[in-house]
C-alpha cells in the first residue's frame, strides 16, 4: 500500500455500541469514520446502517462495519443499497468466505453472539482477505438488481 490508509465507515445500534468503540481503537492502522451512535442509548439501527452503506456505495469508503445485537437488522438494511454486499459474520471462517467468494464490502457483526476478541479476529480476517475472483466473479455480478 502506498501510504494511503484504507477508509472504513463504522456504525452500530445500542447493542453494538460497546464493540464499535472497541473496534475503533483496534482499527488504528485504518482511517475510520464513526457514523454513530455516540452513546449507548437505545436507537434505531437503520439510522446508522443506511449512512454507512451509502458511504461505501458512493465510494467514499472502501469498507463498512456494522454492529447490532444479531447483525440481521443492519445486514438487511445495508443490503438494500445497490453495490453493497453486506455479510453477517459470527465466526472467522464466515468472514473469510464472505470476502473470498462474495466480495463483501460491509461486515456485519452480531455483538450479542461473539466475544470482543472474536469480533476483532473477524474484523481482521474480513479486512485482510482478498476477493478470489475467478468463478465467483460472475456470481457476484449477478447480485445487483
- Which residues are known catalytic residues? 68, 101
Report residue 93 CA to chain centroid gap.
15
What are the φ/ψ torsions at residue 33 (nearest 5 degrees)?
Answer: -115, 125
- The count of C-alpha atoms lying within 13 angstroms of the C-alpha of 100, restricted to the half-sphere facing its C-beta, is 7
Q: What gap in Å lies between CA 45 and CA 37, rounded to an integer?
A: 9
- Between the alpha carbon of residue 3 and those of residues 6, 30, 103, 143, the distances in Å are 9, 11, 24, 33
- Closest by CA to 127, choosing from 34, 1, 21, 42, is 1
Angle, vertex CA 31, rays to CA 93 and CA 110, nearest 5: 35
Amino acid at each position: 500500500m502506498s501510504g494511503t490508509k484504507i477508509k472504513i465507515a463504522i456504525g452500530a445500534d445500542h447493542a453494538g455500541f460497546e464493540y464499535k468503540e472497541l473496534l475503533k481503537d483496534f482499527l488504528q492502522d485504518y482511517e475510520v469514520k464513526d457514523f454513530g451512535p455516540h452513546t449507548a442509548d437505545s436507537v434505531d439501527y437503520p439510522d446508522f446502517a443506511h449512512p454507512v452503506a451509502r458511504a461505501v456505495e458512493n465510494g467514499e469508503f472502501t469498507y463498512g462495519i456494522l454492529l447490532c445485537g444479531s447483525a440481521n437488522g443492519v445486514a438487511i438494511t445495508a443490503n438494500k443499497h445497490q453495490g453493497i454486499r453486506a455479510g453477517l459474520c459470527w465466526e472467522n471462517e464466515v468472514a473469510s468466505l464472505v470476502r473470498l467468494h462474495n466480495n463483501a464490502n460491509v461486515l456485519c457483526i452480531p455483538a450479542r453472539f461473539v466475544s470482543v476478541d472474536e469480533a476483532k479476529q473477524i474484523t481482521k480476517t474480513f479486512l485482510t482477505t482478498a476477493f478470489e475472483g475467478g468463478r465467483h466473479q460472475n456470481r457476484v455480478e449477478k447480485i445487483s438488481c
